[in-house]
Chain A
Amino acid sequence: MSTGTFAPEPGAAPLPRMIGAQTALETRMLLRNGEQLLLTIVIPTVLLVLFSAVPIIDTGGGRRVDFLAPGLLALAVMSTAFTGQAIATGFERRYGVLKRLGASPLPRWALMTAKTGSVLVTEALQIVLLSVIALALGWSPHGDPAAVVLLLALGTAAFSGLGLLMAGTLRAEATLAAANLVFLLLLVGGGVVVPLDKFPGGVRSALDLLPISALSDGLRGVLQHGSAMPWSDLGILAVWAVLGLGAAARFFRWE
């Protein structure tokens, strides 16, 4: 009955091929999921268009889109790196995907690299989409592109750490609920669409330390006002990134 079909010929694929395939799969899973698209694409787009067109919120002086676009870019980063990644990874852990991949030739660090890759691909799509819409609405961005890239990168690192910490320690259902709740709270209280100076002084000082506030404030400073490198916001994001990624590395459970 031997046909030679299964004759052993084991071996791992070359690492770049494994990471490429894993990144492509993770990205497809993300873009195929309706709830994820709602969070990452629909909500930021609707908020951008709605609040630009209708004066519901007092965004201070100047054109509303100039205030809103940086905030929604920050929201896009949070929705993908934190909320989306936490929920997806939480369910992958629950369904034994992480466990099964742990027995495949793909090393764990390569899996995390692929996850980061898929987050970056998704963010790039979001940023292109939001920028095109904002430009159509009359957005005129300023500032140093390097500062923008640095803010987006540190923001992604900070939110990824927090998202993975949640996904790797809580039950999948708890992660789903908590990640959505945090998304909603930070959307309102993180300077995304509501200026933080609308909050009382004490509350505001606390809110300023949130990663979403640092990201939206930093992006707004550069893109709306053409400020120089926003070191304090970058510093806050860096602290969150170190704490979040450190805790995730320490406490993440694969099963």
Chain B
Amino acid sequence: MQSTPAVEVVGLVKRYGTKTAVDGLELSVPRGSVTAVLGPNGAGKTTTIESCEGYRRPDAGTVRVLGLDPVTQSAQLRPRIGVMLQSGGVYPGARAEEMLRHTASLHANPIDPALLIERLGLGSCGRTPYRRLSGGQQQRLALAMAVVGRPELVFLDEPTAGLDPQARRATWDLVRELRADGVTTVLTTHFMDEAEQLADDVAIVDGGKVIARGTPEELCRGGAEDTLRFSGRPGLDLLSLLKALPPDSAAAELTPGNYRVEGRVDPQMLATVTSWCAQHGVMPDRIAVERRTLEDVFLELTGKELRP
């Protein structure tokens, strides 16, 4: 049982009218891991998550969550998962603590709501009704509601959208703690740093398909876009440097005295560059290796133009 993935999506297709929101998507989430589903607006992230939560009936393909069909076996699945919708989900007139206590009362072995109230800084909500809470307070309440029932698996749809940096950190800490306690997390996000910080696995989704997946490191290592920067005397002869480097490397003086070398940055390349500097009597100042970030990978894969 433990060996089957927490989530297994095979060939998922979901259409709304003539629009195909998800087009043959594949996703497998190992138990106990944090998986980030990353993608631009309209990529199919929410439809995918909502298919796993049992809200959407697939037009084709299969979805299994904890080994169950989320649509036909919803009654068995629902007690075992925690769900945070992208927005809403709370009675407009309910108070934060009241709603969290109520959600806890629907579960057999809930976490003490007071602990979550404290952890997520919801104590300040007091008697304010949900509709008058700030966006960040509403998000944190929805997160608390997703985890209060001690689920095996939580789905968080854009959990940190609209949060201030402190609340974002608190959310990240909570996700890390979920992972440490053996809870599987699937989250969608627009934030590359969030995926890099939290995820064991990243699935980049665009046009209703997974177009890349791997650990954040694997995805960032993928291309040949690593760069090395240093500064020194202006007007150095870069041709002699290029002769010493592997053939697919490139070097340029971006502004007088500021140099950039592109290629496969490894210890050998670094040694080549520094010894070349030594030969030319140049002290390479502010030498720095720059790796591709997930954001670079993301923009390469999904394009830089704005989506409609």
Q: Judging by beta carbons under 8 Å apart, are A97 and B89 in contact?
A: yes
- In the assembled complex, how far is the CB of residue B126 from the closest CB belonging to chain A, in whole angstroms? 15
CB pair B93–A33 under 8 Å, yes or no, is yes
Are A103 and B106 touching (Cβ within 8 A)?
no
* Residue among A6, A13, A105 with most chain B CB within 10 A: A6
Partner of A105, one of B55, B89, B107: B107
A32 to B103, CA, bound (A): 19
The CA of A179 and the CA of B209, in the complex, are separated in Å by 44
A2-B181 in contact given A10-B152, A100-B85 (Cβ < 8 Å): yes
Interface residues of B (CB under 8 A from A): 53-55, 75, 78-81, 83, 85, 87-94, 98, 102-103, 105-109, 111, 115, 145, 147, 149-152, 176-178, 180-183
Please give the number of chain A residues whose Cβ is less than 8 angstroms from any Cβ of chain B in the complex: 36
Question: For the complex, what is the distance from the CA of A255 to the CA of B55, rounded to whole Å?
Answer: 10
**A18 nearest CB neighbor, chain B only:** B106
What are 10 A-B residue pairs whose CB atoms fall within 8 Å in the complex?
A10-B149, A13-B105, A25-B91, A29-B93, A95-B91, A96-B85, A96-B87, A96-B89, A97-B88, A103-B53
Contact B177 A2 (CB under 8 A): yes
Q: Which residue of B lies closest to A14 (CB)?
A: B108
Instruction: Write the nearest CB–CB distance from A251 to chain B, whole angstroms.
Output: 18
- Contact in complex: B107, A10 (CB < 8 Å): yes
Which one, B83, B90, B147, B151, contacts A97 given CB within 8 A?
A: B90
A28 vs B107: C-alpha distance when bound (angstroms): 20
Q: Is B180 in contact with A2, judged by CB distance below 8 angstroms?
A: yes
Q: A3-B177, A5-B115, A10-B150 are in contact. Are A105 and B92 (CB under 8 A)?
A: no
A3, A4, A9, A100: the one contacting B88 at CB < 8 Å is A100
Do residues A6 and B150 form an inter-chain contact, with CB atoms below 8 A?
A: yes
Q: B150 to chain A: which residues have CB within 8 Å?
A: 6-10
Verify if A99 is at the interface (C-beta below 8 Å from B): yes
A4, A8, A92, A99: the one within 8 Å of B151 (CB): A8
Q: What is the CA–CA distance of A255 and B87 in the complex, to the nearest angstrom?
A: 13
Which residues of the other chain, A, contact B54 by a CB distance below 8 angstroms?
Answer: 102-103
Q: Is the CB of A99 within 8 A of B79?
A: no
Please tell me if A250 contacts chain B, counting CB pairs below 8 Å: no
B115: A residues at CB distance < 8 A: 5
In the bound complex, how far is the Cα of B111 from the Cα of A107, in angstroms?
Answer: 21
- Give min CB distance, A7 to chain B, whole Å: 5
| In the complex, chain A residues whose CB is within 8 Å of the CB of B89 | 95-97, 99-100
B182 / chain A contacts, CB cutoff of 8 Å: 7-8
Chain A residue nearest to B54 (CB atoms) is: A103
Residue from B80, B94, B107, B183 in contact with A29 in the complex, judged by beta carbons closer than 8 Å: B94
Contact B111 A11 (CB under 8 A): no
- Of the residues A2, A3, A11, contact of B109 by C-beta under 8 Å: A11
CB distance from A201 to the nearest CB of B (A): 46
Q: Which 3 A-B pairs have the closest CB atoms?
A: A11-B108, A96-B88, A100-B89
